[in-house]
Structure 1
Amino acid sequence: MADKLKFVLAVLLVAAGLAGYYLLSGQPLVLRVLCVLAGVLFGALVAWKTEQGQVFFGFARDSWVEAKKVVWPTRKETLQTTAAVFGFVVVMAIFLWASDKTVEWVLYDLILGWKR
């Protein structure tokens, strides 16, 4: 029950930050953005103290560790892969255009006899 109340408090803090953004419409933008950031920060701190928050932040930490293990392609590999994709697209476009023109010629000229 305490976790649910903490979670509701966290949501209310975020909502208060958003409400402050709109209520302070006459103030400088920096102050309004700081109000939103404070609401999100305090909401996250309260949510972190719940059981669901601990599970979420553990998942986020594990995801960050897994993202560091990814072997990202080099610039050369990226350019080569992009060139291969563009080349394939051009070849397929030419093939589909030729197929369309062939079907058009067979249908309209040979079968129906509609000369242009």
Structure 2
Amino acid sequence: MATSEVQTVNSTADKARVAAAVAVLIAGLVAYYLLAKQGPLAQWAGLLAAAAVAVVVFLTSESGRQLVAFGRDAVREVKKVVWPERKEAMQITAYVFVFVLVMAVFLWLTDKTLEWVFYDLILGWKK
């Protein structure tokens, strides 16, 4: 039985970077509302600038570097996927549609049969 240990090292500086990123993002939101008199262009510019700074600060932290590494690994794995050809994709799609149609008819027939059994035969509530 294999067990894997996950070790995380969170230094004070790393936690401070993440906290600073959150603080910058909150400051951007506050600035958005404080810049209401200057117009929407100033509001959005301030918000987007704060968001960009927050992202840069976050990416310098260990959590940000791990997120970037995860993204690179995900892209690498997606490149390994063998995608079906158009003909195969169309056939699989047709199989799914036929299966859904057959199941719909089956469930409709089951519903109508149970309705007939319960309402007409057992309860005698003929329509």
Q: TM-score range by the shorter chain?
A: 0.7 to 0.9
Task: List per-residue Cα deviations over 1:62-116 (Å, max 9, x = no partner).
Answer: 2222233334445555444443333322221211111111122222323333332
RMSD between aligned residues: 2.4
How many percent of aligned residue pairs carry the same amino acid? 50
Distance 2:71 2:29 in 1: 24
> Counterpart amino acid of 2:120?
D
Contiguous gaps of at least 5 residues in structure 1? none
**TM-score normalised by the chain length of structure 2:** 0.72
Aligned residue pairs, count:
116
Query: Pairwise mapping of residues 75-94 of structure 1 onto structure 2 (< 5 A)?
Result: 76-94=87-105
- Whole-Å Cα distance in 1 between the matches of residues 82 and 70 of structure 2? 21
Query: Which amino acid is 1:96 matched to?
Result: L
Match in the other structure for 1:26? 37
Q: What amino acid sits opposite 1:38 in the alignment?
A: A
What amino acid does structure 2 have at the position aligned with 1:108?
A: Y
Match of 1:63 among 53, 68, 74: 74
| Superposition pairs of residues 31-70 of structure 1, within 5 angstroms | 31-70=42-81
TM-score where L is the length of structure 1: 0.77
Residue 27 of structure 2 aligns to which amino acid in structure 1?
A
| Matching residue within 110, 113, 116 for 2:124 | 113
Question: Which runs of no fewer than 5 residues in structure 2 stay unpaired?
Answer: 1-11
Question: What secondary structure sits across from 2:37 in the alignment?
Answer: coil
- Give the stretch that moved more between structures: 64-73 or 102-111: 64-73
Counterpart CA distance in 2 for 1:113 and 1:19 is 69
The 1:108–1:46 alpha-carbon spacing in structure 2 relative to 1, beyond 3 Å, is closer
Change (3 A) 1:106 1:4: closer
